[in-house]
Amino acid sequence: MSAEVPEATSVKEQKEMEDKVTSPEKAEEAKLKASYPHLGQKPGGSDFLRKRLQKGQKYFDSGNYNMAKAKMKNKQLPTATPDKTKVTGDHIPTPQDLPQRKPSLLLASLLAD
Amino acid sequence: MAGAGGGGCPAGNDFQWCFSQVKGAVDEDVAEADIISTVEFNYSGDLLATGDKGGRVVIFQREQENKIRPHSRGEYNVYSTFQSHEPEFDYLKSLEIEEKINKIRWLPQQNAAHFLLSTNDDLRINLWHLEITDRSFNIVDIKPANMEELTEVITAAEFHPHQCNVLVYSSSKGTIRLCDMRSSALCDRHSKFFEEPEDPSSRSFFSEIISSISDVKFSHSGRYMMTRDYLSVKVWDLNMESRPVETHQVHEYLRSKLCSLYENDCIFDKFECCWNGSDSAVMTGSYNNFFRMFDRSTRRDVTLEASRESSKPRASLKPRKVCAGGKRKKDEISVDSLDFNKKILHTAWHPVDNVIAVAATNNLYIFQDKAN
């Protein structure tokens, strides 16, 4: 009875090992899951699609920013971490976080003179 | 157009590709605005347009027969350059509207002046009347009522070269839908649905991302279409929806590097593809400034490189080889030595001759067949 359980586990382990050998893609998946254990578990909509549509835009709201600052008082505001699973999350972008608006090339060349 | 008259274009592989010209700065430090984002020949191949991330368009014109400078025949020189798009900001949505030129499409010449249309889509496809600028027809709309339900986006779209009522659009899930605008005003229901069946046992976290189609192009004949996903190029017969008729591996050795490619975002790179004039060969880009050509009839393929080192006038391009594993031969390059910052995303093939334009970041390379 109890002797059957260890055998069943080793068959599963063996299959996983075989998968890694025959499928380089699955081996890569295992690597990724080791680094980001929460990947792919978020409900509602695909991370990739959101990433794609958002194109890394951060929405700065001065109201949120000032309220968060007031709440936090002396503490630091949570800043963006290079976390692949976060989409917008709880972090409040600070003015330094935001990507600079690109000046128009034409305008830049006009202003240069 | 292409392939008309005796024998048409020979297959891409039977000829010697030689360096012809390179345009752009040599500077190692590349300004983001100078990165070429699209390349397109016009219908005759006499004009070649490039668009860049800075919203500029440069048009090159092919030199005609010239007794004074006989070697300059066939060379492309700057004809015109202009600022096509400016950056804009949508204050309501806090969205920056990029000035990057996504696509250039040449219009058939109506009069002495040449016109071109430069454009930018994810969830909708709109049809514009060229003289009405404030309204358009919406032909496809896949935006769900609740954005949380969004499962796929439109990645590329193209009109059929001969049947103006037919268009195809590809998705981030690796599917292609063919729509006929005659059957309904809103083409949310497709006439044909192309998808290759997937082996469920081989499915991984990466499966959907690498199946996302980055480009779709009809053949000049209008009988086939080609799609580009992350690792391969597929040719589909419009009469067969169940699977592609050909699959060409572009850089299969990257399959065992998907984890790193996901981490450095390269897995989201959008490579384009193109047909030669007679539809006998196809071409697409890769990393390390490599680009690949596949001869459809002989099934042979070649890897070439766009580099300043092999940029001597009329110098033949040497085929490249990537070593996927095991012992690396003398002229081979190992997968780990590839420069993933040097991507060739945009290539164009002259509609008639064996002349190709390859965009390597901020440089435009033009190669010709020795026989030209």
The C-alpha atoms of residue B314 and residue B311 are separated, in whole angstroms, by 8
Partners of residue B94 in chain A, C-beta under 8 Å: 57, 59-60
Q: Nearest CA to B37 among B46, B47, B50? A: B50
* pLDDT: which is higher, A88 or B161: B161
Instruction: Give the type of residue at B307.
Output: S
- Best mutation target among A21, A22, A102 (most B Cβ atoms within 10 Å) is A102
d(CA A22, CA A27): 9
Cross-strand pairs, B138: B126
Q: Which two tokens stand for residue B334?
A: 């190992």
pLDDT of residue A84 exceeding 70, the answer is no
Q: What is the pLDDT along chain B (372 residues), one digit of tens a residue?
A: 333 333 333 444 567 899 999 999 888 788 999 999 999 999 899 999 999 999 899 999 998 866 666 666 689 999 988 888 777 777 666 667 778 887 787 766 555 445 444 444 777 777 766 666 666 777 888 888 877 788 888 888 888 888 878 889 999 999 999 998 888 777 777 889 999 998 888 899 899 999 999 999 999 999 999 999 999 999 999 999 999 999 999 999 999 999 999 999 999 999 999 999 999 999 999 999 999 999 999 999 999 999 998 888 888 999 999 998 878 888 899 999 999 999 999 999 999 999 999 999 999 999 998 876
Q: How many Å is the maximal CA-CA distance in chain B?
A: 66
| B153: chain A residues, CB-CB within 8 Å | 49, 52-53
Confidence (pLDDT) at A74: 57
Using CA atoms, how far residue A99 sits from A59, A83, B34, B46, B354, in Å, is 10, 17, 19, 40, 43
pLDDT at B4 (0 to 100): 35
Task: Judge whether residue A27 has pLDDT over 80.
Answer: yes
**CB-based contact (8 Å) between A73 and chain B?**
no
Nearest CA in chain A to B258: A28
- Radius of gyration over every alpha carbon of chain A, rounded to an integer in angstroms: 24
Q: Name the strands in the sheet holding B192-194, side by side, starting at the edge strand that comes first in the sequence.
A: B154-159, B166-171, B176-180, B192-194
Angle, helices A24-35/A4-22, rounded to nearest 10 degrees: 110
pLDDT recorded at residue A39: 73
Is the CB of B205 less than 8 angstroms away from the CB of A104?
no
| Average pLDDT of chain A, as a whole number | 63
Distance CA B278, CA B281 (A): 8
Residue B8, pLDDT score: 37
Q: Chain B closest CA to A37's CA: distance in Å?
A: 12
| Cβ–Cβ gap B205/A49 under 8 Å | no
Query: Nearest C-alpha of chain A: how many angstroms from B64?
Result: 33
ipTM above 0.85, yes or no: no
Q: What is the pLDDT of residue B271?
A: 97
pTM: 0.78
What pLDDT is recorded for position B53?
92
Q: How many helices and strands (H and E) does chain A possess?
A: 5, 0
Question: At B40, phi and psi to the nearest 5?
Answer: -155, 130
Q: Cβ B89–A26 below 8 Å, yes or no?
A: no
Chain B: closest CA distance from residue A25 (Å): 6
pLDDT for A71 equals: 73
Residues of A in contact with B209 (CB under 8 A): 48
Whether the per-residue pLDDT at A73 is higher than 80: the answer is: no
Q: Is B148 helix (H, G, I), strand (E, B) or coil?
A: helix
